[in-house]
């Protein structure tokens, strides 16, 4: 089907102009000041975007969908997470493949890939590296040859997903050889493990003790550790879910010394502080994630780094667990609370509401951090742009919309929302994926199984 979007204000990471957009054959085929429907093939669908923004489809470079974790499984499927992502304006997701240490990487990759068959948004993967031996190296090479251009390592979760220094070194060397970006969860696993044991032994078992068990120094040390290894190997690295000023500072020092490094923040760290995880009656468990929510001073610092460009991307680390049946597994021991805050649906509207509308960032930074930079860093060809020849992934965004977030109405599979009752300003009114309308009037109208594995350079 041909598609004509008329009269919108097109905003990219660098441009701001009024024009019409004609899409055909899954791509943007023409952009001009005025395009008459009469110039288009018969049956063209015309979308009136007057008074609205037109953005490139947004990209969330850090989500978990299929996730065995802490004795349970994340609640979302690709069917539900696609609906949620697209409703919020996100057209492409990059999922973390997280095999256990005993699993073979290739078998794990094929498992995660198979789960994505019901996706209605486009997708790619970061391949988790949780062990290093000859078989793992051989299979990682095979996975990269299939188009996966990024790895994931954990410098946390001792004895489970975490890698030791030898494994980290060889993973980074392989990544340098293959031109692969290594994404990294940076916390010192030994410090976390010892502090958790001490707190539990002292009877400090509630969710409010999660943050003290992994304070900012632990995260900053993890980033410093990664930067040292990246400099020694020449690998390109990407620090995920950076939560505090001290961790960003370590990454910035690494960049200044010549390390090729990028910094990601996630939406919860920009708008939620540690007070949420300290709520009474075990309510704080809803807000347990790692790294944890921090004091509000870190939010101000993260917004400033986003505005300056030190921080490249805003993701979610979407890890959806129910409160009633899953988070409560940690009653009496906060180390057993499944980590994660469901947020894939609300990332874009929260970033617009609390970033653009509050004057913390401009529209170009909004688009760059929520779409374009992720496409550039991870080589998502045709994504994150509004240009002739690019994928027709577009968001017609209504800045005048006002709404309220609620678990009763969200598309995610979880039984709670971290943003229950929050007002949002603006929404994705129409969303197209490769030229097909998948959200219309703010409602999902897509079809399961129509998403594709996104090609990467």
Pairing relationship of beta strands 181-185 and 150-154 according to DSSP bridges:
parallel
> CA dist 341 to 5, 289, 414, Å?
35, 6, 10
Residues 6+ apart with CB under 8 A from 135: 104
Predicted confidence at residue 158, as pLDDT, reads 81
Domain ranges of the chain: 57-377
Find, among 133, 127, 210, the residue nearest to 164 by Cα.
133
Predicted confidence at residue 69, as pLDDT, reads 84
User: Sign of the C-alpha dihedral, residues 69, 74, 79, 81?
Assistant: negative
> CA dist 37 to 3, 29, 41, 54, Å?
9, 14, 8, 19
- Two tokens, residue 349: 């509207």
User: Sign of the C-alpha dihedral, residues 411, 110, 61, 192?
Assistant: positive
User: 267 near 293, Cβ under 8 Å?
Assistant: no
The region that residue 317 occupies, defined by phi over 0 for left and psi between -120 and 50 for alpha, beta otherwise, is left
- Two tokens, residue 442: 């703010």
Predicted confidence at residue 40, as pLDDT, reads 80
pLDDT average per 10 residues of sequence, the chain (457 residues): 94 98 96 91 92 98 93 95 98 96 96 97 98 97 97 90 95 98 96 96 98 97 98 98 98 98 98 97 97 98 98 98 96 96 98 98 98 98 97 98 98 98 98 98 97 96
Predicted confidence at residue 157, as pLDDT, reads 85
User: 262 near 239, Cβ under 8 Å?
Assistant: yes
Predicted confidence at residue 352, as pLDDT, reads 98
Rounded to 10 deg, the angle between the 216-233 and 245-256 helix axes is 20
Residues 6+ apart with CB under 8 A from 346: 88, 267, 405, 410, 417, 419, 424
* 269/418 Cα distance (integer angstroms): 12
* 103/160 Cα distance (integer angstroms): 12
Predicted confidence at residue 392, as pLDDT, reads 98
Predicted confidence at residue 70, as pLDDT, reads 82
Predicted confidence at residue 257, as pLDDT, reads 97
Predicted confidence at residue 449, as pLDDT, reads 97
Bridge-partner residues for 440, per DSSP? 430, 443
User: 125 near 153, Cβ under 8 Å?
Assistant: no
CATH code given to domain 57-377: 3.20.20.140
Find, among 429, 362, 366, the residue nearest to 396 by Cα.
429
Say which DSSP state 352 is in. Answer: I
């Amino acid at each position: 089907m041909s598609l004509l979007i008329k009269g919108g204000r097109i905003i990219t990471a660098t441009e701001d102009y009024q024009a019409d957009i004609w899409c055909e054959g899954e791509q943007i085929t023409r952009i001009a000041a005025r395009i008459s429907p009469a110039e288009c093939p018969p049956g063209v669908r015309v979308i009136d975007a007057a008074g609205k923004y037109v953005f490139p489809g947004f990209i969330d470079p850090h989500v978990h969908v299929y996730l065995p974790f802490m004795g349970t499984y994340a609640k979302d499927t690709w069917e539900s997470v696609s609906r949620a992502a697209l409703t919020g304006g996100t057209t492409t997701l990059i999922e973390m493949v997280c095999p256990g240490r005993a699993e073979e990487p290739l078998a794990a990759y094929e498992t995660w890939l198979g789960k994505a068959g019901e996706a209605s948004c486009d997708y790619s993967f970061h391949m988790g590296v949780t062990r290093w031996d000859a078989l793992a190296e051989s299979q990682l090479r095979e996975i990269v040859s299939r188009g996966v251009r990024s790895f994931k390592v954990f410098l946390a979760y001792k004895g489970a997903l975490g890698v030791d220094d030898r494994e980290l070194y060889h993973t980074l060397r392989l990544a340098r050889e293959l031109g692969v970006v290594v994404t990294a969860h940076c916390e010192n696993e030994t410090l976390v493990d010892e502090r958790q044991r001490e707190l539990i032994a002292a009877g400090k078992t509630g969710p409010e003790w999660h943050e003290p068990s992994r304070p900012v120094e632990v995260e900053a040390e993890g980033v410093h550790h990664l930067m040292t290894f990246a400099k020694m190997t020449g690998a390109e690295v990407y620090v995920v879910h950076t939560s505090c000023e001290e961790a960003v500072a370590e990454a910035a020092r690494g960049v200044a010394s010549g390390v090729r490094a990028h910094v990601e923040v996630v939406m919860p760290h920009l708008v939620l502080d540690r007070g949420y995880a300290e709520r009474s009656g075990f309510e704080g468990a809803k807000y347990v994630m790692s790294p944890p929510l921090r004091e509000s001073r870190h939010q101000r610092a993260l917004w400033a780094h986003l505005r300056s460009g030190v921080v490249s991307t805003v993701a979610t680390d979407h890890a959806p667990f129910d409160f009633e049946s899953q988070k409560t597994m940690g009653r009496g021991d906060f180390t057993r609370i499944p980590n994660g805050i469901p947020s894939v649906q609300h990332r874009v509207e929260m970033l617009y509401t609390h970033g653009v509308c509050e004057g913390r960032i401009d529209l170009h930074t909004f688009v760059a951090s929520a779409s374009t930079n992720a496409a550039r860093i991870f080589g998502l060809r045709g994504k994150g742009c509004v240009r002739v020849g690019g994928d027709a992934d577009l968001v017609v965004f209504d800045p005048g919309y006002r709404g309220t977030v609620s678990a009763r109405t969200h598309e995610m599979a979880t039984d709670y929302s971290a943003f229950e009752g929050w007002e949002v300003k603006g929404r994705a009114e129409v969303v197209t994926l490769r030229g097909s309308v998948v959200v219309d009037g703010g409602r999902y109208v897509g079809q399961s199984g129509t998403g594709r594995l996104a090609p990467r350079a």
